[in-house]
Amino acid sequence: MSHPDDDVVCNTSSNPHFQDIIASTLQNPARRNLIRGGIGLAALSTVPFLAACGGGDEDGPPGGKGKETNLGFNSVGKSLLDDVVLPAGYTYQVLHATGDPIDSSVLAYSNAGAETDDWSRRIGDHHDGMDIYYIDRKGRFSTKETDRAVLCVNHESSADAHFFHPRGQTTNGVNGKKFSQFGGWDLGVRPELEVLKEINHHGISVVELTKKGNSWGYKLNSLYNRRVTAQTPMKISGPAALQADIQAFMVTAYDPSGATSRGTINNCGHGKTPWGTYLGCEENWAFYFQMPKGSNPIDAKLIASRARYGVARTPIAEAATSATSQGWYTPSDTDDRFTRWNVSAAAASAAEDFRNEPNTFGYNVEVDPLDPNATPVKRVAMGRFAHEGAVCSIPKPGKPLAFYMGCDSRNEYIYKFVSAAKWTPSDEGRGLAAGDKYLNEGRLYVAKFKEDGSGEWIELNIKDPRISGYAAYSFVNQADVLVNVRHAADAVGATKMDRPEWGAVNPKNGEVYFTLTNNSAALRSPTTVDAANPRSYEDLDGRMGTGNPNGHIIRFKEKGSQAEATSFGWDIFLFGAEEDVGDANLSKLTEKNAFSSPDGLWFSPASGICWIQTDDGAMTDESNCMMLAAIPGEVGDGGPVIANNKVGTITGTQKTFMGALLGEARLRRFLVGPRGCEITGVTESPDGKTMFVNIQHPGENTPALGVASAFALESAWPANMGYGKAGRPRSATIVITRKDGRVIGL
Ligand code: FEO
Ligand code: CA
Ligand code: CA
Ligand code: CA
């Protein structure tokens, strides 16, 4: 979702931005090796792009070495329309939208907040990361296309629950409110049904797809249809030797043994495992908890832990108006569906209250999409932080698997989990048992980007004296390192990034890409830039911003192309910018491919295209959020560039490494969404001819109802395009096809 939490920063460590160590960058021999054969900046205007032409798919997938093809569509223009805009020759339909029933016993969605059921059998809200899972004739996972499939969708959810109630959210009997997970909590009791609906619109949905001709839909009564919500029972699982220590952090009144917990929230990006399971990644989970006025304090260690994650750690004041949470604890003092969101030391021990409830969130949650009865598992070995997504390396038989993971907050880090087990292709279809094999035992690393274009993966282990002796947080054991991994990453000097969002692995060469969506001037000034986060400037046009308001995309190549490598080389693939921003437009974007705040990121195995999705607030005066197609190159195909940074009277320069310019032939705007949405989540059928894209929170900027009689809606999509009952805007999955039936994008 978009983040109104510009000031929520939990990383106050003194980890470097490299501002002090840039001087020798271009003299470094290692870096010269890295950019061997690359295209220097002086030569960029003569990059031999192929002529832009349609229908080039006979040339095979682009990217990496070998013959390249070009994008086969014309860029769509910027758009402020309340619809999804696609290139000529493409069409879309809505597959499902917020509130649609997933079984026939549930009434059709009113789109007026009139539901009296608890939403546990409806499609959730805020569609986000997603993936498709094909089913073979024995009902098992298939990597090949079959005539049966389910679609798993994350429902990130957060601030727009006002659309689910007749007159917006209610507290103390007053309706018309609009709560935000980041603030706006107004003291007072909330109605039970509203809270249940809000708890259940979070999580993950699984539905079985149907296809008749070119028309896509989902089955209403499939046995595969499932909702995983903020209330669903979960297992807590980590390295066998640490399991008892891990459970000690998870002790609650729900399960005093700490072996299980309830629910997943704020599932943002996702992961798909090679064995056929789904990872729903918990991102902004920290903001759902509260310590009520006058409640008992928690101990100093828990306070230190929560401080680094932004979780409530002191009782709210009587006059508080901007504390976090949605007030989910307020409907009852005894019903633990609600009291679990009160994270004070309410009773004599942790086994009798929910002070440890926040420790049960912040994980990758593994779900078997083809086993509706399998209890989802929280994979603690992959660390606890604001998980944006988890993208797997190219699986190679006999080699470990790596999962790349961003922690999405300003100045947070990029992590990697490397499995202890070696990939065995016969594990395909083994569900959560395979998950136990690959995701419980392994090493967790954090990335340090160096000023010379190299990088280091630093293992997060209590044996590292920087961690065991860390002054700001006292770790008791390795389980503590996994549960409080942000502290451990601080201790080893990881690189603070401009808000890591999705990662993606280029299936052609295994290179790893990460979107860094943006950063503020307070946290990325001309004096705190570094080579990997090299821009700090002012966007003075329309919706203004300072720091790195338009974001960038970094990419790296593991040493020896080995997923388990502990070092890598990197460069910057693309810098977001408005085309008229001047010096800061380092990627030389034009009005045809200008973009801002990249977030979703995915490579199509069929076309090789790198798809980029935006969640922007800096150029939304000119265009709604969008999706672009890029033809990747490879790390080192560009050269050194200089960012001339300026914010107010503060100036500075930063040398960095940038891939070859893409130009209008290799970077095009493919889709622009309706008003107030972000574009997030994308997958395809294996032949690349059917694409699924999520439109999240259209109409997000609709004001709270207050005393008005009707919402002043920013968007009416998708009902304005004929989907569902007229009324309020709804998040949705759309299906995109090409009228000539060919591969999307080429
Ligand atoms: Fe949920 Fe980082 O976007
Ligand atoms: Ca702007
Ligand atoms: Ca502009
Ligand atoms: Ca996101």
Q: How far is the CA of 561 from the centre of ligand 2 (A)?
A: 38
Q: What is the pLDDT of residue 707?
A: 85
Q: How far is the CA of 128 from the centre of ligand 1 (A)?
A: 9
Tell me the per-residue pLDDT of 673-724, one tens digit each, with 9 for 90 and over.
999 999 999 999 999 999 999 999 999 999 988 888 899 999 999 999 999 9
Q: Is the pLDDT of residue 23 over 60?
A: no
Residue whose token pair is 């890598």 = 568
Q: Environment class of residue 61 by beta-carbon count within 10 Å: exposed (0-12), middle (13-18) or buried (19+)? A: buried
CA nearest to 275, candidates 403, 128, 406: 403
- Ligand nearest the Cα of residue 580 is 3
Q: Is the pLDDT of residue 103 over 60?
A: yes
Residue 173: pLDDT band by 50, 70, 90 thresholds? Answer: confident
Q: How far is the CA of 520 from the centre of ligand 1 (A)?
A: 16
- Rg value, the chain, Cα: 24
Three-class DSSP category at 247: helix
Residues 177-197 have a mean pLDDT of 80
Ligand 1 atom nearest 1 alpha carbon: 1
The secondary structure of residue 362, as a DSSP letter, is S
Residue 112 is assigned to a structural domain of this protein:
no
Write phi, then psi, for 454 (nearest 5 degrees).
Answer: -105, 170
Tokens (6 digits) for 743: 């591969």
Ligand 1 atom nearest 266 alpha carbon: 1
C-beta of residue 681 within 8 angstroms of C-beta of residue 154: yes
Ligand 1 atom nearest 269 alpha carbon: 1
Residue 2 is assigned to a structural domain of this protein:
no
Question: Alpha-carbon dihedral of residues 377, 130, 562, 641, nearest 10 degrees?
Answer: -130
Q: What is the pLDDT of residue 157?
A: 85
Q: What is the pLDDT of residue 554?
A: 98
Tokens (6 digits) for 147: 């005539």
Q: Tell me which residue range forms the domain holding 458.
A: 18-89+122-738
Tokens (6 digits) for 542: 């329309």
* Cβ within 8 Å of residue 685, ≥6 positions away: 132, 145
- Ligand nearest the Cα of residue 549 is 2
Ligand 1 atom nearest 406 alpha carbon: 2
Q: What is the pLDDT of residue 40?
A: 29
How many structural domains does the chain have?
1
Q: What is the pLDDT of residue 682?
A: 98
Tokens (6 digits) for 666: 């290799």
Q: How far is the CA of 586 from the centre of ligand 3 (A)?
A: 15
Ligand 1 binding site (Cβ under 6 Å of any ligand atom): 1, 156, 268, 283, 388, 408, 501, 599
C-beta of residue 537 within 8 angstroms of C-beta of residue 550: no
C-beta of residue 253 within 8 angstroms of C-beta of residue 352: yes
Q: How far is the CA of 1 from the centre of ligand 2 (A)?
A: 19
The secondary structure of residue 655, as a DSSP letter, is E
Q: How far is the CA of 544 from the centre of ligand 2 (A)?
A: 5
Residue 352 is assigned to a structural domain of this protein:
yes
Q: Tell me the C-alpha distance between 603 and 504, whole Å.
A: 7
- Ligand nearest the Cα of residue 156 is 1
C-beta of residue 252 within 8 angstroms of C-beta of residue 261: yes
Residue 413 is assigned to a structural domain of this protein:
yes
Residue 713 is assigned to a structural domain of this protein:
yes
Ligand 1 atom nearest 502 alpha carbon: 2
Strands (E) located in 450-560? 454-459, 500-505, 512-516, 519-520, 537-539, 545-548, 552-558
Question: H or E segment at 223?
Answer: none
Q: Is the pLDDT of residue 71 over 50?
A: yes
141 or 213, higher pLDDT: 141
Q: How far is the CA of 2 from the centre of ligand 1 (A)?
A: 7
C-beta of residue 446 within 8 angstroms of C-beta of residue 458: yes
The secondary structure of residue 180, as a DSSP letter, is B
Give, as residue ranges, everything with CB less than 5 Å from ion ligand 2. Answer: 539, 541-543, 618-619
Q: Is the pLDDT of residue 416 over 90?
A: yes
Q: How far is the CA of 244 from the centre of ligand 4 (A)?
A: 33
Q: What is the pLDDT of residue 43?
A: 30
Strands (E) located in 6-139? 90-97, 127-135
- In this predicted structure, which of 317-321, 372-376, 500-504, 618-622 has the lowest mean pLDDT? 317-321
- Ligand nearest the Cα of residue 578 is 3
Ligand 1 atom nearest 268 alpha carbon: 1
Tell me the per-residue pLDDT of 571-589, one tens digit each, with 9 for 90 and over.
999 999 999 999 999 999 9
Residue 178: pLDDT band by 50, 70, 90 thresholds? Answer: confident
Q: Tell me the C-alpha distance between 374 and 572, whole Å.
A: 41
Residue 457 is assigned to a structural domain of this protein:
yes
Q: How far is the CA of 34 from the centre of ligand 2 (A)?
A: 35
Ligand 1 atom nearest 386 alpha carbon: 2
Residue 5 is assigned to a structural domain of this protein:
no
CA dihedral for 537, 677, 369, 257, sign (positive or negative): positive
Q: Tell me the C-alpha distance between 660 and 453, whole Å.
A: 15
- Ligand nearest the Cα of residue 622 is 3
Q: How far is the CA of 578 from the centre of ligand 2 (A)?
A: 7
Question: H or E segment at 706?
Answer: none
- Ligand nearest the Cα of residue 601 is 4
Q: What is the pLDDT of residue 397?
A: 98
Residue 330: pLDDT band by 50, 70, 90 thresholds? Answer: very high
C-beta of residue 438 within 8 angstroms of C-beta of residue 424: no
**How many other β-carbons are positioned within 10 Å of the β-carbon of residue 254?**
18
Let me know how long the chain is.
746
Q: Tell me the C-alpha distance between 396 and 443, whole Å.
A: 18
Name the pTM for this structure: 0.92
- Ligand nearest the Cα of residue 541 is 2
Residues 352-381 have a mean pLDDT of 98
Residues 358-372 have a mean pLDDT of 98
Q: How far is the CA of 542 from the centre of ligand 3 (A)?
A: 7
CB burial of 144-157 (b: ≥16 within 10 Å; e: otherwise) equals eeeebbbbbbbbbb
Tokens (6 digits) for 48: 């031999």
Q: What is the pLDDT of residue 322?
A: 58
Three-class DSSP category at 243: helix
Three-class DSSP category at 670: strand
Write phi, then psi, for 264 (nearest 5 degrees).
Answer: -135, 140
Residue 100 is assigned to a structural domain of this protein:
no
Residue 213: pLDDT band by 50, 70, 90 thresholds? Answer: confident
The secondary structure of residue 442, as a DSSP letter, is E
Q: What is the pLDDT of residue 318?
A: 65
* Single-letter amino acid, residue 488: A
Residues 518-530 have a mean pLDDT of 96
Ligand 1 atom nearest 615 alpha carbon: 3
Q: How far is the CA of 630 from the centre of ligand 4 (A)?
A: 19
Ligand 1 atom nearest 156 alpha carbon: 1
Mean pLDDT of the chain: 90
Query: What residue owns the CA closest to ligand 1's atom 3?
Result: 1
Q: Tell me the C-alpha distance between 462 and 477, whole Å.
A: 7
The gap from C-alpha 589 to its chain's centroid, in whole angstroms, comes to 25
Q: Is the pLDDT of residue 562 over 80?
A: yes
C-beta of residue 412 within 8 angstroms of C-beta of residue 500: yes
Q: How far is the CA of 485 from the centre of ligand 4 (A)?
A: 21
Q: What is the pLDDT of residue 66?
A: 43
Tell me the per-residue pLDDT of 427-450, one tens digit each, with 9 for 90 and over.
999 999 999 999 999 999 999 999
Ligand 1 atom nearest 517 alpha carbon: 2
Q: Tell me the C-alpha distance between 110 and 340, whole Å.
A: 30
Q: Tell me the C-alpha distance between 186 and 706, whole Å.
A: 13
Residue 388: pLDDT band by 50, 70, 90 thresholds? Answer: very high
Residues 378-388 have a mean pLDDT of 98
C-beta of residue 657 within 8 angstroms of C-beta of residue 694: no
- In this predicted structure, which of 58-62, 277-281, 709-713 has the lowest mean pLDDT? 58-62
* Single-letter amino acid, residue 450: K
